[in-house]
Amino acid sequence: MASRKRRRKPAPQPELRCQCGEELKRFRPFCPRCGRAHIWGDTAHETNAECGHCGWVVSDYSWYCPWCGEDIHEADVSSDRPLKAPAGFRFSAKCDAGCGGGVQYPMPHCPWCGAEQEWPDDEYEGTCPHCSRGVDDWMDHCPWCGEDATGQDLIPRALRRVRRLLLVSRIRPWGFRILLRPGVSGVDPKYPKIVEIDNDWVGKRNRHEIPWPMLVGLTCHELGHSFLYHHWRWTRDWQFVEAFGEVDKAYRVSDAGWVDFQRRRVTTTHPNFVTAYAATHPQEDFAETFRFYVTRRGRMRELLAEMGQKRKGVVVYQKFLELHRYLRGLR
């Protein structure tokens, strides 16, 4: 303790890199690249105190470890009242429980009363499907819980099936990244390779309750959006325009209603669209055509026969033929 007062030189900054090379943000328990667990101790000697339970840096004034929540109170050392920000820590917000003390982002516990804290994680692009805290699209591991930040581990059956369907349809993956996220299914034209699938179909359900065929269909549909954004120049070809019409890129896909549409028994026939949902917007038209093409393994003879049985109009044939023509050109 005495050495703290004598120290003159500024303490060296702790190494903020993981062994895998990834740059780390302070106080995130896991590396987002490799998933390795990290202990944020007092390497820079800012407080000269570490929690005896978890090893993370703490203040001697605190009553609780703000990281693991353990009681670290010591008579004559701990503060007799909640502080705003003891040396070595910043003030980010007041304690959620209203004890009057200050907490630093992203402490899970209040250092003064031990109460659990909630943080909005505003700086992140999305939400971890495992722990609901903030994650970015590129992250393989959640920096908070260490689990698969993409959520792909929650839908292995659907993803295996989709990859297999693309392969037999002879569509080479274009670098898309499938992310399970709460409350959204869709693709943003600004990030054409990011395909978001609504985690609500998976999250709280048992494995046998997950509607796998629906998830496969939904994923193929969203991949259709991603594929079109990725090959946007094609939408200006006269052949494309003749089949699908003029499409506007400003359209931000959000397919919350897709599943309802699939469940509804459609009585009105849409002779010019492959499904009723396809009639809602030209980009949905393409995504649905793409989904049918992929789930029917790109077998044109069978596809066109199926359209005949469903009494579809000539333009629907044209859509499949144009997609088929374009895909052949990519090979």
Q: Quick one: which of 114, 94, 156, 106 has its CA closest to 131? A: 106
DSSP 3-state of 57: strand
Minimum CB–partner distance for residue 51 and Zn ion (Å):
3
| Cα–Cα distance for residue pair 17/26, rounded to 1 Å | 10
Residues 284-313 that bind Zn ion (CB under 5 A): 284, 287
Our CB check for Zn ion shows the closer of 128 and 223 to be: 128
28, 45, 93, 113: which one binds Zn ion (CB under 5 A):
113
Q: Does residue 89 touch Zn ion according to CB under 5 A?
A: no
C-alpha dist (Å) from residue 175 to 226, 230, 295: 10, 10, 20
Our CB check for Zn ion shows the closer of 169 and 275 to be: 275
Q: Does residue 279 touch Zn ion according to CB under 5 A?
A: no
Minimum CB–partner distance for residue 143 and Zn ion (Å):
8
Q: Does residue 31 touch Zn ion according to CB under 5 A?
A: yes
Stretch binding Zn ion (CB under 5 A), from 20-28, 83-91, 233-241, 243-251: 20-28
Which two tokens mark 145? 């819980």
Q: Does residue 278 touch Zn ion according to CB under 5 A?
A: no
Minimum CB–partner distance for residue 9 and Zn ion (Å):
28
Residues 139-198 that bind Zn ion (CB under 5 A): 142, 144-145
C-alpha dist (Å) from residue 266 to 154, 254, 258, 274, 275: 31, 21, 13, 12, 9
Our CB check for Zn ion shows the closer of 112 and 320 to be: 112
Query: For Zn ion, how many residues bind (rule: CB under 5 A)?
Result: 31
Residue 29: CA count within 13 A, CB half-sphere:
16
| Cα–Cα distance for residue pair 273/278, rounded to 1 Å | 6
Q: Which residues, at least 6 apart from 296, have a Cβ–Cβ distance to it below 8 Å?
A: 302, 303, 306
54, 85, 214, 300: which one binds Zn ion (CB under 5 A):
54
Minimum CB–partner distance for residue 82 and Zn ion (Å):
6
Minimum CB–partner distance for residue 64 and Zn ion (Å):
8
Which two tokens mark 293? 């093409």
Contact 249, 229 (CB under 8 A): yes
Stretch binding Zn ion (CB under 5 A), from 15-23, 171-179, 206-214, 318-326: 15-23
Residues 235-274 that bind Zn ion (CB under 5 A): 253, 255
Q: Quick one: which of 120, 96, 116 has its CA closest to 108? A: 116
- Count, in order, helices (H) and strands (E) of the chain: 8, 6
Contact residues toward Zn ion (CB under 5 A) are 18, 20, 22, 31, 33-34, 36, 51, 53-54, 65, 67-68, 95, 97, 99, 101, 110, 112-113, 115, 128, 130-131, 142, 144-145, 253, 255, 284, 287
